Amino acid sequence: MNLSPALAITPEVVQEHGLTPEEYEKVKQLLGGREPTLTELGIFSVMWSEHCSYKSSRVHLKRLPTRSRLVVQGPGENAGIIDIGDGWACAFKIESHNHPSFIEPFQGAATGVGGILRDIFTMGARPVAVMDSLRFGPITPAKAAGEGARATPAELHKNHSVLEGVVSGIASYGNCFGVPNLGGETKFEPCYSGNPLVNAFALGLVRRDQIFYAKASGEGNPVIYVGSKTGRDGIHGATMASEEFSEASEAKRPNVQVGDPFLEKLLLEACLEAMQTGAIVGIQDMGAAGLTCSTCEMGGRGHVGIEIELDRVPQRETGMTPYEIMLSESQERMLLVAQKGREDEVFRVFQKWGLDAVDVGRVTTDGKMRVLEHGKVVAEIPNEALTDDAPVYKRPLQRWEPPIPREKPDGIKLAGPGDLTENLKRLLASPNICGKRWVWQQYDSMVQTNTVEGPGAGDAGVIRIKGSQRGLAMALDGNGRWCYLDPRLGAMHAVAEAARNVACAGATPVGATNCLNFGNPEKPYIMWQFSQVVDGMTRACEELEVPITGGNVSFYNETLGEGIYPTPVVGIVGILEDVHQATQPHFRQAGRTVVLLRAGEPGDITDAESEFGSSEYAKEVLGAVWGYPPELELEREAALQKAIVEMIQTGLVESAHDCSDGGLAVALSEAALPQAVGVRVSVASQGLPPEFALFGEDASRIVISCDRDKLSGIQQVAVKYGLSADVIGETVPEQVEIKLDGGVVVSAAVSELREAYESALEKALRTETEVVAAD
């Protein structure tokens, strides 16, 4: 793109900026009929990009529930905030950094973490936990279900290196910054080969009465730039995130920003200390669209104007044009408004931490963003033109059917003579289910000494709050394949499972954040998927009483026209009144009673067959995908979650593990592995093929272990909530054994299962290297 200031604005230039001719007409109209300068055009281009303006999603997002008596701040700020009691509040949000992470995995993922952390501490909250939801293309040469061919060695190599780069990027940033990583999820599907998803979640704690907002006010108040200097990196990053990928995307590498976690750590300490002075009026980080976005949004929220002089902006290189300075996405920068006359208090703090802090402008009353260079106006745009007046599209929707059979293909045989123990091991070693130690062991999960439940073992991450009895549980969940088969139902499951994970730790789910990853919204079927997902999420959030307090939308996850599964990822936060009651998912000792707590009854053969086609077993072992996701009755799911929280809080339960990917057999194995406590259970097939009972993924089920004396208490709570709580067996030393209708169908030493589960990921990465080397 030619950035010469003298460049005339031709239709081509407008198009290069990602604006349609109609949008350009609207720009002129909003500027009172005049042509924009090139700088102004650049500013409109980023602010009206899909990434910043939500122009395709806004009409749908309005449907999401965003309020409850605990919500202090809903969507529209840097992060959502929930009141968690004892004078504390927590700020949290999840955000995507998909496009940059594909182009430059290490820096893309690192700056994704950096961006979400800034969103948290700009609100005055100290980040106390991060989690990540990651999706990549296949890393094993196994034939992927529903796809024509095996992944090629070149593809495997690419996926491997994206995974390596993303994980070390996240590790490098979070470890240095000093925030514990509590895990998340790592999933693999062919559709993410050209479009990996990197969704970063962060949560921070703030005193209820010390929250800061990204709002400018007070005529004449100084506008102060703090943090890193502005360079030429990341220019048009937001626009890049609003386009599909093509073969030329490699050339966009310079659009990816470079992160400096050390600087961010200093920025955190300096910002929190400066906030304590009482001299700060409002503050916002410079993320997507950098200085442009922070200036017009802070002005817009406060219904004031902001005037800045670019000569005063700290710059990393010489000769930067206004266009470049305004659009740079250099990391680790903040814009704040201070009280006039108290600037020095702010400067002193930043000086102590060795950071730039420069008075770059002032608050005005005219509601405009005015940008000066050498005293001359280079851009003057009403805030509303960039924010509220940005285009909003009600894009066409078209119902869509996935090219997948809805009934079990005839070639697929169940209830055959297959070895179910071997198949269980295969599932435990499959990329989506296997242990992710290789990933999370690279993350510092214990810094800050609050981690009660770290990554790996738990359904949810749990932290204590120092100086309080309370704790917080959090979990991320998404299931792209289910949303592909039925976007509405798949989205309901994502909410339900994340909330169930939090409830299994003993916490009451109170708030949610979402990251909506989709293909090109200009395609009507993609927009239909999006709308369905929002509907499903709305239903589930209402029923489970978890309002959405913020998040983001990532469209255009397509490479060469090939899109991802619609992949909403949900983060849920729950409160533990007493963190000492937090319950873990694994069995603690032999001789305990094992109970399957369940909200529904298994369906008939037709339902069961159709739902089994969406399971991990069907994909991994049978090599096929068909049918629909499992049914989900939200009222009963809500009852299940309330019941498990009540059981845990009254001390009835010793362990609780959500039954999800891989079904009951995998849930029992996962509960057995950490402490090498085995389990012997006996279940009934109810006339269905044995695979359904073992590996079917019926929703709303929890495996619990308890002292035999507590059984009647558990059953009383179950009856109260209309649930069944069947004793299915007991914990034993060292062996996992499952009987079906009286006959043993699975029998393995815990150590064998552990070997399959723990070694699979590293083995896959190693084998892949050998395959490529041999190729």
Partner 1 sequence: MKFGVIIFPGSNCDHDAYWTIQHVARQPVTFLWHESHDLENCDAIIVPGGFAYGDYLRTGAIAKFSPVMDSVRKFAAGGGLVLGICNGFQILCESGLLPGALMRNVGLKYVCKPVYVRVENANTPFTSTCREGEVLTIPIGHMEGNYFCDEATLAELRRDQRIVFRYATPDGDITPAANPNGSLDNIAGICSPGRNVLGMMPHPERSSEPELGCTEGFKIFESLVGAMAEK
Closest to partner 1 by CB, 263 vs 499, is: 263
**51 has catalytic annotation:** yes
Report in angstroms how near the CB of residue 449 gets to partner 1 at its nearest. Answer: 5
Report in angstroms how near the CB of residue 615 gets to partner 1 at its nearest. Answer: 32
- Does 682 interact with partner 1 (rule: CB under 8 A)? no
Antiparallel, parallel or unpaired: β 677-683 and 724-733:
antiparallel
* CA distances from residue 755 to 7, 588, 671, 760 in whole angstroms, order as listed: 63, 20, 15, 8
The residue from 17, 97, 157, 236 that is catalytic is 97
**493 has catalytic annotation:** no
- Does 451 interact with partner 1 (rule: CB under 8 A)? yes
Amino acid occupying residue 156: L
Instruction: Specify the stretch interacting with partner 1 by CB under 8 A; choose among 97-105, 275-283, 401-409, 447-455.
Output: 447-455
Q: Within positions 266 to 285, which residues make up the interface with partner 1, using CB under 8 A?
A: 266
Question: Which residue, among 571, 421, 577, has the nearest Cα to 507 in the 3D structure?
Answer: 577
Instruction: Specify the stretch interacting with partner 1 by CB under 8 A; choose among 216-224, 449-457, 649-657, 734-742.
Output: 449-457
* Residue 172 and residue 110 in contact, taking contact as beta carbons nearer than 8 Å: yes
Among 40, 260, 373, 497, binds partner 1 (CB under 8 A): 260
Tell me the torsion sign for CA atoms 708, 713, 714, 718. positive
Closest to partner 1 by CB, 296 vs 334, is: 334
Amino acid occupying residue 374: H
Q: What is the size of the binding site for partner 1 (CB under 8 A)?
A: 30
Instruction: Specify the stretch interacting with partner 1 by CB under 8 A; choose among 142-150, 254-262, 668-676, 695-703.
Output: 254-262
Enumerate residues 6+ apart whose C-beta is below 8 A from 655: 583, 584, 585, 586, 587, 588, 592, 671, 704, 705
Among 15, 161, 351, 441, binds partner 1 (CB under 8 A): 441
Q: Token pair for residue 685? A: 């097939």
* CA distances from residue 155 to 161, 248, 338, 532 in whole angstroms, order as listed: 10, 18, 51, 32
Report in angstroms how near the CB of residue 660 gets to partner 1 at its nearest. Answer: 25
Closest to partner 1 by CB, 433 vs 579, is: 579
Q: Which residue in this structure is represented by tokens 């297959």?
A: 418
Report in angstroms how near the CB of residue 96 gets to partner 1 at its nearest. Answer: 24
Distance of CA 677 to the CA centre of its chain: 33
Q: Token pair for residue 566? A: 């619609």
Enumerate residues 6+ apart whose C-beta is below 8 A from 37: 378, 379
Report in angstroms how near the CB of residue 766 gets to partner 1 at its nearest. Answer: 13
Amino acid occupying residue 108: G
Q: CB 727: neighbour CB atoms within 10 A? A: 16
* CA distances from residue 474 to 282, 516, 614 in whole angstroms, order as listed: 28, 18, 26
- Does 685 interact with partner 1 (rule: CB under 8 A)? no
Among 442, 649, 682, 767, binds partner 1 (CB under 8 A): 442
Question: Which residue, among 702, 705, 723, has the nearest Cα to 715 in the 3D structure?
Answer: 723
DSSP SS3 for 356: strand
Report the alpha-carbon distance of residue 106 to residue 167 in Å, rounded. 8
Among 62, 466, 720, 766, binds partner 1 (CB under 8 A): 466
Among 255, 257, 445, 583, binds partner 1 (CB under 8 A): 445
- Does 262 interact with partner 1 (rule: CB under 8 A)? yes
Closest to partner 1 by CB, 462 vs 485, is: 462
Report the alpha-carbon distance of residue 383 to residue 370 in Å, rounded. 9
- Does 33 interact with partner 1 (rule: CB under 8 A)? no
Among 211, 447, 590, 771, binds partner 1 (CB under 8 A): 447
* Residue 560 and residue 194 in contact, taking contact as beta carbons nearer than 8 Å: yes
- Does 452 interact with partner 1 (rule: CB under 8 A)? yes
Helix axes 750-774, 420-428, angle to 10 degrees: 60
Q: Within positions 342 to 371, which residues make up the interface with partner 1, using CB under 8 A?
A: 353-354
Among 579, 594, 608, 666, binds partner 1 (CB under 8 A): 579
Among 136, 177, 201, 225, binds partner 1 (CB under 8 A): 177
Among 103, 130, 151, 171, binds partner 1 (CB under 8 A): 171
- Does 464 interact with partner 1 (rule: CB under 8 A)? yes
Closest to partner 1 by CB, 99 vs 265, is: 265
x/- string (CB under 8 A) for partner 1, residues 689-708? --------------------
Enumerate residues 6+ apart whose C-beta is below 8 A from 716: none
Closest to partner 1 by CB, 316 vs 720, is: 316
Residues with catalytic function:
51, 97
Question: In the complex, which residues of this chain contact partner 1 (CB under 8 A)?
Answer: 168, 171-172, 175-178, 260-263, 265-266, 353-354, 441-449, 451-452, 464, 466, 579-580
